[in-house]
């Protein structure tokens, strides 16, 4: 078979993205907007997004920064909401994101895993209104076991709310991969970094703070399980970068913030990965079509773009300037073997 040197992506979607706010938003949002048609925007700002007014104002700030070249799919931070409120905001959101309290960056106001019963009224309303539930599925146990320990909660949610669409965000383990196949209403997003790295890359030699994220990188076997779902573009999974920028001094610090910044190089690195495995033909499904069917989106719901990538080296910038600070991307200063050739808005 001839080597494929050119890949055309039709409206790539990033179904898990942190854009932050203010200066960071102004820096990172255009980088996603350039290459992606749209993204699911995480609500873990400080304070988190829990009101219609703040959600719409944040959406406007994103649109202003991205010059309307990109569709931000907004999410609310999960808490118990009234029927009246959910009915009033239904059209403005694509999902509600649930975080266990304190499990990751800015999740202090998340839910108490010991009191899941108290979430029932809102989950019932979400089912009735057709609002998707996205979950950061980690317990507060040993760091390598947190996702596995959370899987029974996913199972009980899937069983208790068979008509609720539940997304297991950024899955990282073989067991979560298996669970995604077990219930019709369970789906998963997969990041770039969990497809590429293991705990060994983070901590096996010199410590690499820019690979530190939640959920933490796992084992080789876990990575292989994720890869096989992604490379076959299994319909239960979709791409969600979890690109989560932090200023350089918060990453290269004693008390490193969790999050890997991948937005500006995600498409290049995914082309490289799928090409290495000769699975280029599945990339559009993983990057767009699967998300469209999971979230019930069609072409009228986002800005349509074709992104052409070619086999040509791309030097990832060492950092991006954030006023007097810097933000360091994954693969900073390294070369990837695919680069963006053309972007056409349709």
Residues that bind ligand NCD (CB under 6 A): 18, 44, 104-105, 136, 213-214, 242, 244, 258-259
Q: Of 126, 67, 61, 63, give the one whose Cα is nearest residue 93.
A: 126
Q: How far apart are CA 164 and CA 132, in angstroms?
A: 7
Residue 337 catalytic? Answer: no
Contact status, residue 282 vs residue 274, Cβ threshold 8 Å? yes
- Minimum gap (Å) between residue 16 Cβ and Zn ion: 6
Residue nearer to ligand NCD on the CB measure, 136 or 248: 136
144 binds, among ligand NCD, Zn ion, none (CB under 5 to 8 A by kind): none
221-260 positions binding Zn ion, by CB under 5 A: 242
Residue nearer to Zn ion on the CB measure, 222 or 242: 242
Number of residues binding to Zn ion, judged by CB under 5 A: 1
214 binds, among Zn ion, ligand NCD, none (CB under 5 to 8 A by kind): ligand NCD
- Catalytic option among 222, 242, 249, 321: 242
193 binds, among ligand NCD, Zn ion, none (CB under 5 to 8 A by kind): none
- Minimum gap (Å) between residue 343 Cβ and Zn ion: 25
169-188 positions binding Zn ion, by CB under 5 A: none
Catalytic residues: 242
Residues that bind Zn ion (CB under 5 A): 242
């Amino acid at each position: 078979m001839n080597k494929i040197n050119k890949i055309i992506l039709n409206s790539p979607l990033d179904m898990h993205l942190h854009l932050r706010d203010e200066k960071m938003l102004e820096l990172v949002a255009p980088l996603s907007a350039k290459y992606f048609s749209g993204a699911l925007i995480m609500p873990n700002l400080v304070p988190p997004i829990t009101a219609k007014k703040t959600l719409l104002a944040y959406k406007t700030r994103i649109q202003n920064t991205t010059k309307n070249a990109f569709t931000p799919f907004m999410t609310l931070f999960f808490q118990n909401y009234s029927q009246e409120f959910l009915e009033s905001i239904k059209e403005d959101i694509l999902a509600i994101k649930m975080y266990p309290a304190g499990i990751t960056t800015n999740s202090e106001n998340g839910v108490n895993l010991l009191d899941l019963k108290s979430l029932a009224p809102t989950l019932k309303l979400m089912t009735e209104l057709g609002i998707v539930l996205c979950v950061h599925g980690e317990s507060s146990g040993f760091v390598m076991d947190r996702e596995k320990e959370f899987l029974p909660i996913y199972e009980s949610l899937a069983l208790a709310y068979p008509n609720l669409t539940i997304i297991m965000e950024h899955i990282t383990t073989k067991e979560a991969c298996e669970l995604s196949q077990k219930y019709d209403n369970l789906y998963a997003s997969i990041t770039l970094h969990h497809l590429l790295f293991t705990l060994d890359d983070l901590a096996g030699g010199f410590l690499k703070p820019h690979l530190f994220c939640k959920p933490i990188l796992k084992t080789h076997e876990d990575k292989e399980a994720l890869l096989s779902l992604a490379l076959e573009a299994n319909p239960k999974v979709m791409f969600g970068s979890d690109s989560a920028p932090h200023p350089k001094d918060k990453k290269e610090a004693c008390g490193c913030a969790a999050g890997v910044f991948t937005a500006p190089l995600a498409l290049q690195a995914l082309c490289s990965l799928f090409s290495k495995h000769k699975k280029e033909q599945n990339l559009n499904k993983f990057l767009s079509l699967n998300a469209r069917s999971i979230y019930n989106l069609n072409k009228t719901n986002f800005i349509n773009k074709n992104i052409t990538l070619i086999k040509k080296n791309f030097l990832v910038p060492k950092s991006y300037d954030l006023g007097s600070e810097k933000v360091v991307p994954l693969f900073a200063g390294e070369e990837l073997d695919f680069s963006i050739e053309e972007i056409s808005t349709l």
